[in-house]
Amino acid sequence: MAYSSTFEDALLRVQSFAKRADINAEITEALCHPKEMMSVSLPIRMDDGTKQYFSAYRCRYNNILGPTKGGIRFHPNVNSDEVQALALWMTIKCAVLDIPFGGAKGGITVNPKDLSPMELERLSRAYMRAMVNFISPHRDIPAPDVNTNALIMAWMLDEYESIKREHSPDVITGKPVELGGSLGRDDATGRGAYLCTLELIKVMGWSPNNLTVAIQGFGNGGYHIAQLLEKVGCKIVAVSDSQGGIYAEEGFHIDSLWQEKQRSRQVRAVYCDGSVCELINHHPITNAELLELDVDILIPAALEGVITKDNAHQIKAKAIVEIANGPILFEADDILASKGIKVIPDVLANAGGVTVSYFEWVQNRSGQHWSLDDVHQKLKDKMIDAFSQVWTLAEQKNYSLREAAYINALNRISTATSKLGTHHYFKQT
């Protein structure tokens, strides 16, 4: 079956891995259909007095393991197909980490850079007004995603509490710490991927010293994993953003790159000592060229579908760590496997964010506030345990890490679903 949409590509993996693991066909079919999908138009009064309409979505994909959980993204390419795919991946991700959540996702079709701060607030509050009966602490819990942050979550929380007339910090995660957010949420996605990468380095018998790393996407997740890997001795030789990338064989000083990106909004090769920065030698590269660099570890941390059957043969990395959602299409999996490339899949590698969101929800519901050390240790325990389970299954059954992660998740979902009765049960009675 040819790839034609993000959601279809996500379904191909579920169907393929479910068949290999002999998952009940009724349960597999249920996972091919989202539970609920909300589509709305948000009318917003702009600063110049005009009114514009923005398409907005929220998908609750599957809630067999608990209330649904998933971020809200603001991006020009947001559409119902993408939202459903992301919600399906979140369903698998929560099951891989054994977190008592189902999967959800939401978004608005907008370029937030085109809006003033006040327009952005109106849009954020309008989204919550439209979704207020779709969302609740026991039903569906949003969080930040692409182009959204703690401030936007604070506006949405405030709108929800104003409508419901009750204090409900557990209705949304990724909030400012002062409003009930959790310490450690800001770097959770990158840290979770870093912990998985360290485990891969250990089981492969590598030393982190001077391992070369290329990172496509120098946003929050890409920056934090780069910073953490640099600290253990890895050499970050290439980074990129939407405008392009840079490469230097001797590697970059990550905090200097990040400081310059915040200052100039560009990925530029600099070394900073305090407030003094100087340019260092580097080569400009495209995002496509970055993917094909001869490095030890490739980290796609930007967009979906960047590695396909057309460029998979040119990938030279020994391992890939997916921080982006769905950066490798289903059609490329077998090609990468045939080249012996280990892939830590997105449903494991980028699960640090939803894991710390779960910790935040638990703290809100119990009235606790954990220290940063507590959060980091709990995240480490969760990520290492999940990686260990996936690696062990992969080794025992000769699965890829992606197959093992999905099959672990599908088995958990299948076991829970079967307790409600399936065709097999009713046919026997």
- Whether the Cβ atoms of residue 15 and residue 8 lie closer than 8 Å to each other: no
The predicted pLDDT at position 271 comes to 55
Is 105 one of the catalytic residues?
yes
How does residue 2 score in pLDDT terms, banded at 50, 70 and 90?
Answer: very low
pLDDT tens for residues 153-177?
999 999 999 999 999 999 999 999 9
The predicted pLDDT at position 102 comes to 98
Q: What is the fold of 188-349?
A: Rossmann fold (3.40.50)
Indicate the pTM of the whole model.
Answer: 0.92
pLDDT top residue among 279 and 355: 355
The predicted pLDDT at position 421 comes to 77
The predicted pLDDT at position 243 comes to 84
Token look-up 């310059």 returns 260
Residue 141 and residue 184: Cα distance in Å, rounded?
18
Note the CATH number of domain 36-169. Answer: 3.40.50.10860
Which percentage of the chain shows pLDDT scores above 90? 84
Residue 155 and residue 158: Cα distance in Å, rounded?
5
The predicted pLDDT at position 1 comes to 36
Contacts of 251 (CB under 8 A, 6+ apart): 212, 235, 236, 237
Residue 340's SS3 state is coil
In the chain, where the domains are located: 36-169, 188-349
Q: Burial letters for 19-28: b for 16+ Cβ neighbours within 10 Å, e otherwise?
A: eebebbeebb
The predicted pLDDT at position 269 comes to 63
- Whether the Cβ atoms of residue 335 and residue 358 lie closer than 8 Å to each other: no
CA quadruple 329, 304, 318, 315: dihedral sign = positive
pLDDT tens for residues 254-288?
998 888 778 767 776 655 555 545 566 778 899 99
Give yes or no on whether 36-169 and 188-349 have one common fold: yes
Backbone φ, ψ for residue 178 (5° rounding): -65, -20
Catalytic residue chosen out of the listed positions 69, 93, 105, 318: 105
pLDDT tens for residues 289-320?
999 999 999 999 998 899 999 999 999 999 99
